[in-house]
Structure 1
């Protein structure tokens, strides 16, 4: 027999949120929230979310170190922004009067 996570509708979650949060905390189970049969969100134990955040942070640090190593090796880094967009008249804050001038 395989384990499958709980799935509840938004209405079910709304009517029993405090009980659900307590159950997730005590059992460590993941509960998916669905609407019209589609999973929209998940309620997970805090330690699971924290572990995910730590893993994501570690990946970001590794990617940053890799980028710094490539730059140190002489590779030209990619720009953080698209210069054509920054100078474009459609950029946020661009004065529409100057765009037509």
Structure 2
């Protein structure tokens, strides 16, 4: 479970939060009032999120290519004057 800090506490302890994420693998959620607004996570977590997003994008693109009525790339290039 991630640690929780207010935005003020996060600002005052930013260096410590970075170290906790970078070296301790800890996730820290920053709140404004009761609402979570940001998170500091280890870079490995961000890399994983980005790889998962890329994989989802590829799956969506492959699905779109299979749909009937797809517009050929050459047609798009002509319309966009590429």
**TM-score interval (norm. to shorter):** 0.7 to 0.9
Task: Tell me the SS of whatever aligns to 1:55.
Answer: helix
Aligned mates of 2:27, 2:13 — CA distance in 1: 15
Q: What RMSD, in angstroms, separates the aligned Cα atoms of the two structures?
A: 1.5
TM-score using structure 1 length: 0.65
Mark the structure with the bigger radius of gyration. 1
TM-score using structure 2 length: 0.79
Gaps of 5+ in 1: 79-101
Task: Tell me the SS of whatever aligns to 2:62.
Answer: helix
> Matched residue pairs, number?
71
Q: Paired residue for 1:76? A: 69
Aligned mates of 2:14, 2:37 — CA distance in 1: 16
CA shift, 1:77, in A, is: 4.4
Select the residue among 6, 10, 21 that pairs with 1:9. Answer: 6
The structure 1 segments of at least 4 consecutive aligned residues displaced by more than 4 Å after TM superposition are none
Tell me, yes or no, if structure 1 residue 48 matches structure 2 residue 45.
yes
Aligned mates of 2:51, 2:6 — CA distance in 1: 30
Aligned mates of 1:76, 1:30 — CA distance in 2: 45
Task: Tell me the SS of whatever aligns to 1:25.
Answer: helix
**Higher RCO (C-alpha 8 Å, min separation 6):** 2
